[in-house]
Chain A
Amino acid sequence: MPIFLQGEAKTAKARITVSPSGLSCSAELWLSKDGTTKQATSGSKPFNSTGAPQDVSLPVTMPAGGFQYGVYLDIYVAGNLMGAYRATEDVLVPAVSDPVITW
């Protein structure tokens, strides 16, 4: 499971194939603890289908630490949700308090 730091900016690359080519598409990658609420999102990232696999960059800033987040990917074609996926691997954003050291 990928481990990222809170506030860390990461860019996911989603390899997507939309056919036929020339369609106006968009993708959004979001992180969620419950699959409903988006704790972080790339926002809608437009692209034009090529009819072949293409990598779409989806930047996300890691949300609050201390949780494991599911990774969700929505693909829109001409504004219509054509596919909603959950990545097989979640993302872990641990949290660490300020340590207190005594001797």
Chain B
Amino acid sequence: MPTFEPGALATAKVRITVSPAGLASQVVLALATMVPVVSRTVSFTSTGAEQEITIPITMPAATGQYGVWLDILVSGIVIRQYVGTEAVTIQVSLPSPSLTYLFQWTSPSGDYFENTLSLGTLLEMRDEAFLNLSFDEDPLIPTARGLQYASTAKTQIRNEIIELLDANGFSGSTVSFTDPVIACGAFENRYSCYIRVPGNVSVNGTPVLGVQEKGTITQYIDEWYSPSPDENDIITGARVTWRNDSTVAFTGRVLVMYNRINFNATQNQDATLQPGQSITVHFTFEVQGVSIWSVKLLALPSMRVLDRR
């Protein structure tokens, strides 16, 4: 069913044959519920053969479903009235959350710069880019479920993330995950990361159905969580999931581990740092179960983490 924004300018194309040729004709397109709400009249001369009449029309301001009515006139006389088989839906688009994604990294020369990605942007971090890892330094590692954490304190982590991730990579079975998770990380063998993302996660375009479960959020919080990692910790794998299981929109900032992520969204936000041959941070934003857009940020295998400066 054709769907338009309220007040949008749309163009209907009407294929019709009016005969005989040479008749001064008009087609009136109306969108109506009980009575026409908007209409547009276009004149044409019949050809006796099928012809396409283009009818620009401004959609109604009110949301809802509208029948499509056509009147065909010849010399001002209605000779045919037609009701389209398909109604038109006027609805407001699902809210489009704004996203500012800041991926901070350094160039080989050590210069910092940030990329701000607009919606739908795919940024490939090239070889010369070095991922500047940072994570919450002070106890802003999640300690409870369902909470959001933010911090500006960061510590850079030494060692290359890719190798470490490979050494302790995530692979294996798919495990369902229902706990609302803010973030967690894996640091050497003391912590493991287990975060599950409900689909739409891919590495280099290949869907990742699941990751090996290293634990649960409860284990993480209740059993594994120990003093905050410091700069001597070695990241062996981490991923970030931010998820809001409520139906209430929120604006949040997650500042965790490897990235600084700022985004406004509504529901079911997932931000995952994917280990493996590359790092894929894949955000899939949904509103009422409908995927609105997603942003992928790919980090190539050669991406390295700088030592702390």
Measured CB to CB, the residues of A under 8 A from B are 3, 5, 65-68, 92, 94-103
Task: Provide the residues of chain B in CB contact with A68, threshold 8 Å.
Answer: 20
Interchain residue pairs with CB less than 8 A apart (28): A3-B79, A66-B20, A92-B20, A92-B23, A94-B19, A94-B20, A94-B79, A95-B17, A95-B18, A96-B18, A97-B16, A97-B17, A97-B18, A98-B82, A99-B14, A99-B70, A99-B72, A100-B14, A100-B15, A101-B12, A101-B13, A102-B13, A102-B15, A103-B2, A103-B10, A103-B12, A103-B13, A103-B88
Q: Which residues of A contact B13 (CB under 8 A)?
A: 101-103
Q: How far is the CA of A97 from the CA of B51 in the complex (A)?
A: 11
Distance in Å from the Cβ of B293 to the closest Cβ of chain A? 23
Chain A residues within 8 Å of B68, by CB: 101
State A68–B29 Cα separation when bound (angstroms). 27
Q: How far is the CA of A98 from the CA of B50 in the complex (A)?
A: 10
Among residues of B, the one whose C-beta sits closest to the C-beta of A3 is: B77
The answer to whether A101 touches B17, judged by C-beta atoms less than 8 angstroms apart, is no
Cα–Cα distance between A99 and B16 once the two chains are bound (Å)? 5
Asked if A96 and B72 make an inter-chain contact with CB atoms under 8 angstroms apart, the answer reads: yes
Residues on B lying within 8 angstroms of A by beta carbon are 2, 10-20, 23, 27, 29, 46, 48, 50, 68, 70, 72, 74-75, 77, 79-80, 82, 84, 86, 88
Cα-based distance from A66 to B2 in the complex (angstroms) = 32
Known: A3-B75, A101-B84, A103-B2. A96 touches B12 (CB 8 A): no
B15, B50, B70, B79 — which one has the most chain A CB atoms within 10 A of its CB? B79
Contact across chains for A95 and B2 when beta carbons are under 8 A apart: no
Contacts of A99 in B (CB 8 A): 14-16, 27, 70, 72, 82, 84
Taking the closest CB of chain A, its distance from the CB of B75, in whole angstroms, is 6
Which B residues are in CB contact (< 8 Å) with A98? 82
Whether A97 and B50, one on each chain, are in contact in the complex, defined by CB atoms closer than 8 angstroms, is: yes
* Closest partner residue, chain B, to A102 (CB atom): B13
Nearest chain A CB to B53 CB, angstrom units:
9
Q: Is the CB of B18 within 8 A of A94?
A: yes
**B11 contacts which chain A residues (CB < 8 A)?**
103
How distant is the Cα of A100 from the Cα of B82 in the complex, in angstroms?
10
Q: Given A67-B20, A68-B20, A101-B68, do A96 and B15 touch, yes or no (CB 8 Å)?
A: no
- Alpha-carbon separation in the docked complex, A53 to B40 (Å): 48
Residue of A nearest to B81 (CB): A96
- Across the interface, do B12 and A102 meet the contact criterion of CB distance under 8 Å? yes
Q: Are A95 and B19 in contact, with the CB atoms below 8 A?
A: yes
CB nearest neighbor in A for B3? A103
CA of A100 to CA of B84, assembled, Å: 8
**B21 CB to nearest chain A CB (Å):** 10
Q: What are the 8 closest A-B residue pairs judged by CB atoms, nearest first?
A: A97-B17, A66-B19, A96-B80, A100-B15, A103-B2, A99-B16, A94-B74, A96-B72
Q: What residues on B are CB-neighbors of A67 within 8 Å? A: 19-20
| Residues on the B chain within 8 Å of A97, using CB | 16-18, 50
Give Cα A67 to B22, complex, Å.
11
CB distance from A97 to the nearest CB of B (A): 4
Bound complex: CA A65 to CA B80 (Å): 11
Nearest opposing residue in chain A for B15, CB measure: A100
In the complex, which residues of chain B have a beta carbon less than 8 angstroms from the beta carbon of A3?
74-75, 77, 79
Collect the chain A residues with CB atoms within 8 Å of residue B29's CB.
101
Contacts of B80 in A (CB 8 A): 96
Chain A residues positioned under 8 Å from B23 (CB to CB): 92, 94
In the complex the two chains form, what is the Cα distance from A92 to B10 in whole Å?
A: 34
> Bound complex: CA of A103 vs CA of B13, how far in Å?
6
Given contacts A67-B20, A94-B20, is CB(A101)–CB(B70) below 8 Å?
Answer: yes
- Chain A residue nearest to B74 (CB atoms) is A94
Known: A101-B68, A102-B15. 6 other contacts (CB 8 A): A3-B77, A5-B79, A67-B19, A96-B16, A97-B18, A99-B84
